[in-house]
Amino acid sequence: MMRDFEKISFEQFKNDVADDLELYDSFELPMRKTRRAAGYDFALLCDLAIKPGEIVKLPTGVKSYFAPDEMLLIVVRSSTGFKHNIRLVNQIGVIDSDYYNNPDNEGHIFIKIQNEGDKTVYFKAGEAVAQGIFVKYLATDTERTINAGRGSKY
C-alpha cells in the first residue's frame, strides 16, 4: 500500500469548512518544500489572526491513507514555534491508518493550535503552520487480538 493525501469530499468540506467550491478547488494538498524535507506542510485555508492565549481548531480539507503499520504524525513547523510561539494544543497529533474514510468525517484532519506569545499573530491563507510526517511503528510480539469496534482490548 502506498501513502498519499486526498481532499475530503466537497460535501464534507461544506460541513466542516465552507460552502465555497472555489476555495475547495483551489487549495493544495500537503507537500514537501525540498526533496530531503521529512514533513509535508499543511497550509491554511484562509487568513488567520490568533490572539495571545487563543486556541483555534483549523480544518485542513485533507485526509490521508497509508499502510496499517504506519501513522501520520502532525507537528508544528519549527519556524511557526520559533518565530511566533505557536504550539499544537496536543503537542503532537497521531493519525492512525484506520482514521481514513471513517464514517464520522471521512478522516478529515484538523489541527488545533494555541498562541502562547504576548502578541496577535497573523497568517495568510496558503501559509504552512504544521507538517505531517509518515512513520512506521512496531507492535509487541505478545499482542493479543484487538476487539474491533470497541476500542483496544488486550
Q: What is the CATH number of domain 4-136?
A: 2.70.40.10
Q: What is the pLDDT of residue 79?
A: 86
Reply yes or no on whether the pLDDT at 151 is more than 80. no
Q: What is the pLDDT of residue 66?
A: 97
Q: What is the pLDDT of residues 67-117, one digit of tens each?
A: 999 999 999 998 888 899 999 999 999 999 999 999 999 999 999 999 999
Reply yes or no on whether the pLDDT at 148 is more than 70. no
Cα 78 to its chain centre, rounded Å, is 15
Q: Give the separation between CA 136 and CA 143, rounded to whole angstroms.
A: 17
8 CB contacts (<8 Å, ≥6 apart)? 16, 61, 62, 63, 105, 106, 107, 108
